[in-house]
Amino acid sequence: MDSDGIMECIDLMCDTLPQLRNALKLTQEDFSKIIGISRQSVINMEHKKKKLTRSIIISMVSFFSLRKETAEILLQCGLNRSFISVYSKYT
């Protein structure tokens, strides 16, 4: 797997996470419960203090891709394109 591609996905997700949450009117606590992580983990991701695991990034991209408001944001920032190019090697 291309580590640069993974890092690009992680950086894009961390950078856009507050915007994505806000588009759905989700607090850090709400989002943490949906994804199955702690609120502190969400805070750490938003401040780039915690690395995302593959399972977390897949959960996050899947969750946001299925909602119109956030799917458009993902497309605009290029995250879907980055995610697909990195993870398509596994399918």
Type of residue found at 51: K
Per residue in 18-53, pLDDT (tens digit) is 999 999 999 999 999 999 999 999 999 999 887 778
Per residue in 16-25, pLDDT (tens digit) is 999 999 999 9
What number of other Cβ atoms are within 10 A of residue 4's Cβ?
9
Query: By mean pLDDT, which of 23-27, 67-71, 86-90 is the weakest?
Result: 86-90
High-pLDDT (> 90) share of the chain, %: 38
